[in-house]
């Protein structure tokens, strides 16, 4: 069969895009080029560097969802599932990318990405958790690492292909699919597609993870069944990328269902957290916010989720007064903290800082160290020139969790307080957590150039710089 003109065009441009992605990755991450695994052992440190390059290249080229609530939900659900896996102490990184196709992927070294389209396609939490547990199982069973080790192709070449496809899919889903699955790239992709044995093993282990986490494992089978029905009924297989990288058929779905006992189907299937997550993703990614708002306003049957969605849509459409009215009414019948967080956002959008601050302070009393609340409150304090209060709040938060957003907000507070060396040090920690080690070291060097530093401060900064530079040197030698 002849290639389509689109496939021929994409194949012709593949080399340039491949090189552009590698240049982008090295420019942002200062990472070495990993060689052919047949020429050297694919060690855990190799896998760590490959995962880092994979993630940073994505970060540089694909829009990520930076919503505090969405990321908090996805990360906490992922951590819960991992805690019931064969490797509960393994460090996973969960993230959501703003692409409307239905897909999820496990990158090297436990980087798990989920498209916004997949979140919107899942009917309930158990369906989304089913996909997540399945991907976690691929990692814990080292399916991807084994595929890379056994492959005759360079891991860097294979992942550049996938990264290029994801990048194109963010702009044009058909073009992305054509790159990954058409022409010469198909030969590369076929070497890392999970085998049927891998898929069955991931199903089995994923279902056990769901059971142990007290989540209805039926969601895994029902979501896969839904994907097959979509593909059969609407002939949109090309848009369901998940089916391409995860071979699926009715027999496999039936086998998955056979592994689920009757009592397991009584486990929790959904949560308000997930439905609110879907609402946030829907409002943030909808291409026509005005049209979405009209549709939401015209709904006859409403519930907490639809009202919450409507409130968010009012905020996005710059109608904060309507949002305040809708969300205030919802707070009288729904105590979920995200409702009041949205209400505080509505007040902020209407330039009413005082009621927004009161809501955040009240929530902070109820939910101390809850990231979406604490970060919003810290930002509000900085806007209100209460920089010391924000600094104290963020340093308290750092005792329980280390997140880039905490350090970036802390840096903003220190800058506002004109404490430049501490601001640069906080930024250094932010960069380190994001994987930019060389840039993190540069921030420490900049901090050391500040005037009137105390001897203990200089000693602390020099020690940190040494640790970072040793890491840079270690990565550069590989």
Select from 326, 374, 361, 329 the least CA-distant residue to 346. Answer: 326
pLDDT exceeds cutoff 50 at 185: no
Predicted pLDDT at 162: 63
pLDDT exceeds cutoff 90 at 375: yes
Q: What's the pLDDT tens digit per position in 87-96?
A: 999 999 999 9
pLDDT exceeds cutoff 90 at 145: no
Q: How confident is the model at residue 240 (pLDDT cuts 50, 70, 90)?
A: low
Predicted pLDDT at 192: 43
pLDDT exceeds cutoff 90 at 209: yes
Q: How confident is the model at residue 158 (pLDDT cuts 50, 70, 90)?
A: low
Predicted pLDDT at 446: 98
The CA distance from 434 to 111, in Å, is 12
Which CA distances in Å does 80 have to 84, 88, 144, 208? 7, 9, 22, 13
pLDDT exceeds cutoff 60 at 9: no
pLDDT exceeds cutoff 70 at 149: no
Q: What's the pLDDT tens digit per position in 103-139?
A: 888 888 899 999 999 999 999 999 999 999 999 998 9
Predicted pLDDT at 200: 84
Mean pLDDT of 205-222: 95
Burial of 309 (0-12, 13-18, 19+ CB in 10 A): buried
Question: Which helix H or strand E contains 105, and what residues bound it?
Answer: strand 104-107
Q: How confident is the model at residue 57 (pLDDT cuts 50, 70, 90)?
A: confident
Mean pLDDT of 290-303: 94
Q: What's the pLDDT tens digit per position in 62-72?
A: 889 999 999 99
Predicted pLDDT at 154: 55
Helices (H) and strands (E) in the chain, counts: 25, 3
Q: How confident is the model at residue 165 (pLDDT cuts 50, 70, 90)?
A: low
Mean pLDDT of 147-156: 58
pLDDT exceeds cutoff 50 at 13: no
Mean pLDDT of the chain: 84
Mean pLDDT of 368-395: 98
The CA distance from 215 to 453, in Å, is 53
Predicted pLDDT at 255: 84
Q: What's the pLDDT tens digit per position in 408-446?
A: 999 999 999 999 999 999 999 999 999 999 999 999 999
pLDDT exceeds cutoff 70 at 232: no
The CA distance from 105 to 112, in Å, is 6
pLDDT > 90: percent of the chain:
60
Predicted pLDDT at 6: 35
Q: Which of 79-93, 161-175, 224-238 has maximum average pLDDT?
A: 79-93
Better-predicted residue by pLDDT, 29 or 266: 266
The two tokens of residue 360 are: 């955040």
- pTM for the model stands at 0.85
Predicted pLDDT at 227: 81
- Through-space distance between the first and last CA atoms of the chain, rounded to whole angstroms: 43
Predicted pLDDT at 233: 52
The CA distance from 474 to 468, in Å, is 10
Q: ∠252-255-257 over CA atoms, to 5°? A: 115
The interaxial angle of helices 404-416 and 371-383, nearest 10 deg, is: 10
SS3 176: helix
Burial of 31 (0-12, 13-18, 19+ CB in 10 A): buried
pLDDT exceeds cutoff 60 at 330: yes
Q: Which of 173-182, 222-231, 236-245, 330-339 has maximum average pLDDT?
A: 330-339
pLDDT exceeds cutoff 60 at 26: no
């Amino acid at each position: 069969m002849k290639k389509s003109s689109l496939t021929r065009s994409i194949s012709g441009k593949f080399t340039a895009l491949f090189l552009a992605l590698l240049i982008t990755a090295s420019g942002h991450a200062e990472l070495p080029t990993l060689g052919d695994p047949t020429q050297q052992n694919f060690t855990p440190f190799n896998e760590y560097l490959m995962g880092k390059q994979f993630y940073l290249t994505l970060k540089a080229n694909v829009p990520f969802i930076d919503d505090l609530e969405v990321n908090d939900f996805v990360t906490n659900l992922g951590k819960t599932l991992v805690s019931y896996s064969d490797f509960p102490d393994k460090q996973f990184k969960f993230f959501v990318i703003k692409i409307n196709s239905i897909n999820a992927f496990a990158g090297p070294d436990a980087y798990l990405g989920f498209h916004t389209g997949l979140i919107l396609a899942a009917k309930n939490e158990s369906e989304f958790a089913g996909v997540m547990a399945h991907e976690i199982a691929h990692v814990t069973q080292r399916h991807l690492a084994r595929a890379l080790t056994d492959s005759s192709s360079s891991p860097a070449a294979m992942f550049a292909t996938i990264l290029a496809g994801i990048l194109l899919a963010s702009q044009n889903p058909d073009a992305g699919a054509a790159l990954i699955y058409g022409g010469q790239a198909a030969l590369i992709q076929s070497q890392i597609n999970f085998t049927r044995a891998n898929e069955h093993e991931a199903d089995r282990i994923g279902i056990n993870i769901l059971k142990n986490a007290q989540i209805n494992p039926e969601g895994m089978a029902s979501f896969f069944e839904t994907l097959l029905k979509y593909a059969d009924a609407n002939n949109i297989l090309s848009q369901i990328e998940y089916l391409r990288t995860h071979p699926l058929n009715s027999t496999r779905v039936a086998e998955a269902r056979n592994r689920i006992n009757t009592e397991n189907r009584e486990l929790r299937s959904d949560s308000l957290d997930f439905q609110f997550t879907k609402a946030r993703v829907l409002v943030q990614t909808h291409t026509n916010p005005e049209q979405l708002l009209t549709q939401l306003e015209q709904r006859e049957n409403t519930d907490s989720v639809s009202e919450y969605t409507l409130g968010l849509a009012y905020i996005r459409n710059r109608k904060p007064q309507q949002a305040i009215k809708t969300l205030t009414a919802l707070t009288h019948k729904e105590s979920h903290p995200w409702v009041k967080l949205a209400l505080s956002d509505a007040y902020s959008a209407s330039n009413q800082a005082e009621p927004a601050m009161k809501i955040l302070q009240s929530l902070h009393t109820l939910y101390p160290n809850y990231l979406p609340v604490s970060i919003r409150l810290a930002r509000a304090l900085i806007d209100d020139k209460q920089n010391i209060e924000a600094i104290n709040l963020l340093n308290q938060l750092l005792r329980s969790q280390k997140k880039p957003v905490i350090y970036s907000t802390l840096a903003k507070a220190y800058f506002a307080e004109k404490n430049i060396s501490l601001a640069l040090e906080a930024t250094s920690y932010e960069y380190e957590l994001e994987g930019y080690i060389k840039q993190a070291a540069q921030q420490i060097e900049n901090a050391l150039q500040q005037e009137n530093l105390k001897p203990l401060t200089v000693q602390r900064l020099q020690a940190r710089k040494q640790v970072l530079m040793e890491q840079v040197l270690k990565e550069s030698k590989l």
